[in-house]
Amino acid sequence: MAIARPDAGLLALTDWRIEPVGDRCLQIRLGDQVSVSVSQTVHAVTEWLLRQRWDGVRDVVPAFTTVAVHFRPERFARDKGPAFAQLSARIRDVLVEGVPAVVHAGCEVEVPACYGGEYGPDLEEVARACDIDTAEVIRLHCATPLVLYTFFFSPGNPFAGPLHPRLNVPRRATPRTLVPAGSVAIANGISSIYQNASPGGWNVIARTPWNLFHVDRNPPTRLQLGDRLRFVPISPAEFDAMLESRP
Partner 1 sequence: MNLMRVDRPGILSVLQDGGRYGYQRFGVPVNGAMDEWSCRLANVLVGNAADSAALEITLNGPTVRFAHDTLIAVTGADIAVTAAGVPLPTHCAVMVRHDVPIAFGHCRRGARAYLAVRGGFAPDAVLGSRSTNLRAAFGGVEGRALRAGDRVAVASPYREMLPLARMMVQSVMASVAAARPAGANGPETGNAIRFLPGPQWERFEPTARKAFETETFTVSSQSDRMGYRLEGPALALSSPLEMVSEAVSFGTVQVPPGGAPIVLMADRQSVGGYPKIAYVISADLPSLAQAMPGTALRFQAVTAETAQRELLAMEDRLDTIAAEAARLLGLPSQ
Using H for helix, E for strand and C for coil, what is the string for the chain?
Answer: CCEEEEECCEEEECCCEEEECCCCEEEEECCCCCCHHHHHHHHHHHHHHHHHCCCCEEEEEECCCEEEEEECHHHCCCCCCCHHHHHHHHHHHHHCCCEECCCCCCCEEEEEEEECHHHCCCHHHHHHHHCCCHHHHHHHHHHCCEEEEEECCCCCCEEEECCCHHHCCCCCCCCEEEECCCEEEEECCEEEECCCCEEECCEEEEECCCCCECCCCCCCECCCCCCEEEEEECCHHHHHHHCCCCC
Work out which of 7, 55, 74, 131 binds partner 1, going by CB under 8 A. Answer: 74
Closer residue to partner 1, CB minimum distance, 24 or 230: 24
CB of 247 to partner 1, least distance (A): 8
| Binding map of partner 1 across residues 99-128, x = CB under 8 A, - = no contact | ------------------------------
Rounded distance between C-alpha atoms, residue 11 and residue 172, angstroms:
37
Rounded distance between C-alpha atoms, residue 62 and residue 226, angstroms:
12
Quick one: which segment of 53-61, 110-118, 122-130, 161-169 binds partner 1 (CB under 8 A)?
Answer: 53-61
- The yes or no reply on residue 155 touching partner 1 (CB under 8 A) is yes
Are 29 and 45 within 8 A, CB to CB?
A: no
Task: Give the count of beta carbons closer than 10 Å to the beta carbon of residue 94.
Answer: 15
Closer residue to partner 1, CB minimum distance, 37 or 235: 37
Work out which of 14, 36, 80, 82 binds partner 1, going by CB under 8 A. Answer: 82
Work out which of 1, 70, 144, 233 binds partner 1, going by CB under 8 A. Answer: 70
- The yes or no reply on residue 33 touching partner 1 (CB under 8 A) is yes
- The yes or no reply on residue 78 touching partner 1 (CB under 8 A) is yes
Closer residue to partner 1, CB minimum distance, 116 or 226: 226
Total site size for partner 1, rule CB under 8 A = 54
Work out which of 25, 94, 129, 243 binds partner 1, going by CB under 8 A. Answer: 25
Work out which of 39, 40, 41, 65 binds partner 1, going by CB under 8 A. Answer: 65
- The yes or no reply on residue 22 touching partner 1 (CB under 8 A) is yes
Residues that bind partner 1 (CB under 8 A): 19-25, 27, 29, 32-34, 46, 58-66, 68, 70, 73-74, 78, 82-84, 150-159, 170-171, 173, 175, 188, 195-196, 198, 213, 215, 219-221, 225
